Amino acid sequence: MIPVVTTDRLTLRAPEQRDFETYAAFRASDRAKTVGGPFPRSHAFQSFCAIIGHWTMRGYGRWIVADKTTDEPVGLVGIFYPEDWPEPEVAWSMFANGEGKGYACEAAKAAREWAYETLGWNRLVSMVDPTNTRSVALAKRLGCTPGGTFTHETLGELHYWVHPGPEAAR
């Protein structure tokens, strides 16, 4: 079961069928460039299903970030650890309507706190494409410090950003 986490302005919840169109539009847009896209729309359904299957495989995963009042999906944030990743990371992707409001930061903090408290972890990283300046800025805003690089087979070189530990992040 995918848990629900709430923040001041946001609900982090399971992806639902009604989120699919927004997600598919994001994956097909230039906004998906830094995560290996844009992807043909026909691939969107399978990757959408995989977000949910990730939870079953790992016991954690990424949530749809929704406006707490309207339930409109604004992004995808959570703990991401596919089999070709070196370790679990706090991952974020904001849809066009979720940009510029501090939502990514608010959601990433909630995801991080959830992982520390619920999973009992004491280390978390985020892997960021160095050309993705907005993401780099967010990593810094979250208090992350640089921690080396990782070369992914198709995504190329990603930079590790190490999050503050459970105590410091609180």
Q: In the complex, which residues of this chain contact other proteins (CB under 8 A)?
A: 14-15, 17, 20, 24, 40-54, 56-57, 82-85, 153-154
Give me the least distance between CB of 59 and other proteins, in Å please: 9
Could you say which DSSP state residue 115 is in? I
List beta partners, residue 90: 79
**Quick check: 99 and 75 in contact, CB under 8 A?**
no
Q: What are phi and psi of 160, to 5 degrees?
A: -75, 135
Task: Give dist(CA 139, CA 113) in Å, integer.
Answer: 15
User: Given the complex with other proteins, which of 1 and 168 has the nearer CB atom?
Assistant: 1
User: Given the complex with other proteins, which of 54 and 112 has the nearer CB atom?
Assistant: 54
Give me the least distance between CB of 34 and other proteins, in Å please: 17
Total number of residues shown for the chain: 170
Alpha carbons within 13 angstroms on the beta-carbon side of residue 143 total 13
User: Given the complex with other proteins, which of 49 and 137 has the nearer CB atom?
Assistant: 49
Give me the least distance between CB of 50 and other proteins, in Å please: 4
Give me the least distance between CB of 167 and other proteins, in Å please: 32
